[in-house]
Structure 1
Amino acid sequence: MPKVVIVTGSPNAGSRLNGISGYVEKSLQSRGWHVDVLPVVSLPAEDLILTRWDSPAITKANLLVEEADAVIIASPVYKASYSGVLKTYLDLLPQKGLEGKIVLPLFIGGTISHLLAIDYALKPVLSALYARHISQGVYAVDSQVQRTEQSQFVLDEDLTKRLDAAIGQFAEATLLFTGQAEPLLS
């Protein structure tokens, strides 16, 4: 089955973004896929800021991406773009670090006004890293993800429908491009 890595770019461990990425992770695991989660904030800040290409932590993170069939890039939106911590990590991926990968962007922001951040901020970087196919991303607003008293997340119905559709397209593209799709019966 396909291997996927979810690269999360939130600097906040309690971010609503975790509700979205957790939902996607569970959905892919229910399909039998192997899913690794790479919270960029867990990487040593000094390695990220000082661009330590040969750092053991960065090397290990890059190996996760290299070995994955597909990559999910998840980030909160700050100042009409993805997070700075995510940018520092993407800068440490090899020039062709996403070559041959299917990529699904997932963003969350305070308002709908940053809806195009995926298209105008992230997609050019993904293309520069040689992503093979960038799936239709999902942009959510904070109000669509509620945090419970037990620190769990509840996603609203519209968001789960859009995520389910995006996951389906992402899964189909991944299976197709990796040669793991089952042949259609005639």
Structure 2
Amino acid sequence: MSTRVAVVVGNPKPVSRTYEAALTLAEHLGGADLVVDLADHTDELFDWSSSTINELVQEVASSDVVIVASPTYKATYTGLLKVFLDRFPHQGLGGVTAIPLMLGAADTHALSVEHGLRPLLVELGASVPTRGLFVLDSEHADAAPYDRWFAGAEHLLPSTPATSTSQAVSA
């Protein structure tokens, strides 16, 4: 059975550096099966009857792994991401492994991923077995931050085609 990987990007700019970073991280897991770029849905996020948003919530909740990505705004995640995550009921991410990912302009914001985003995902019932990943904006296109993070986190994540291959190679 394959692992279903979802990506949720909370940057208000479509196809942003945050989007690129999230997809880079997803490649370490074998690629994304679902990508939700919230910038494409700003008109519907506050419409609680939006069938599109309700379906996206259901799809994310039914994934095995979700990468939740945001730029750092005022030392935390974006309001756009918060509005989307507010659509999930209590324990709405139960059974999902979440990976918090944030980008920022300076290392001084590095704890924002652990201080802000991780607790929100845990509150929604997600399992967050690894530390979150903070990537400097200036390094978002460099493979090194993702490779370093994945090397330490791989053994804690659900088995995916990518992790199965690397575990088989290292055995």
- With the length of structure 1 as denominator, give the TM-score of the two structures: 0.76
Q: Is 1:18 aligned to residue 19 of structure 2?
A: yes
1:56 matches 2:51? yes
Tell me which moved more, 115-124 or 71-80.
115-124
Per the alignment, residue 132 of structure 1 pairs with 127
Find 1:155's aligned residue among 120, 124, 142. Answer: 142
Q: What are the equivalent positions in structure 2 for 1:95-110 lying under 5 Å apart?
A: 95-110=90-105
CA apart distance, 1:74: 0.6
- The separation in 1 between residues aligned to 2:32 and 2:136, in whole angstroms, is 28
Deviations 1:81-117 (A, max 9, x none): 0011001100111222111111111110011111111
105-114 vs 118-127, which deviates more?
118-127
Q: Indicate the larger mover: 100-109 or 160-169.
A: 160-169
RMSD: 2.4
SS at match of 2:92: coil
Structure with the higher fraction of residues in strand conformation: 1
TM superposition shift of 1:140: 0.8
**1:107 and 1:96, CA in 2 relative to 1: closer, same or farther beyond 3 A?**
same
Q: Is the 8 A contact 1:75 1:82 kept in 2?
A: yes
Q: Distance in 2 between matches of 1:44 and 1:3?
A: 25
Shift of the 13–34 alpha-carbon distance from structure 1 to 2, 3 Å rule, reads: closer
Q: Gaps (5+ residues) in structure 2? A: none
Contact 2:8 2:68 in 1 (8 A): yes
Choose from 137, 143, 151 the match for 1:165.
151
Q: Which aligned segments of 4 or more residues in structure 1 are displaced greater than 6 angstroms?
A: none
**Cα 1:123–1:22 shift into 2, 3 Å:** closer
Do the aligned residues in 1 keep the contact of 2:26 with 2:67 (CA within 8 Å)? no
- In 1, Cα distance between equivalents of 2:32 and 2:68: 16
**1 CA distance for matches of 2:61 and 2:86?**
15
- Structure-2 separation of matches of 1:167 and 1:22: 17
Q: Which amino acid aligns with 1:155?
A: D
Contact 1:136-1:166 within 8 A present in 2 as well: no
Shift in Å, 1:27:
2.8
CA deviations 1:2-23 (Å, max 9, x no partner) are 0011111111124221221121
Q: Normalising by structure 2, report the TM-score.
A: 0.83
Where structure 1 has 5 or more consecutive residues not aligned to the other structure, the ranges are: 146-153
Aligned length: 161
Q: Which has the larger radius of gyration?
A: 1
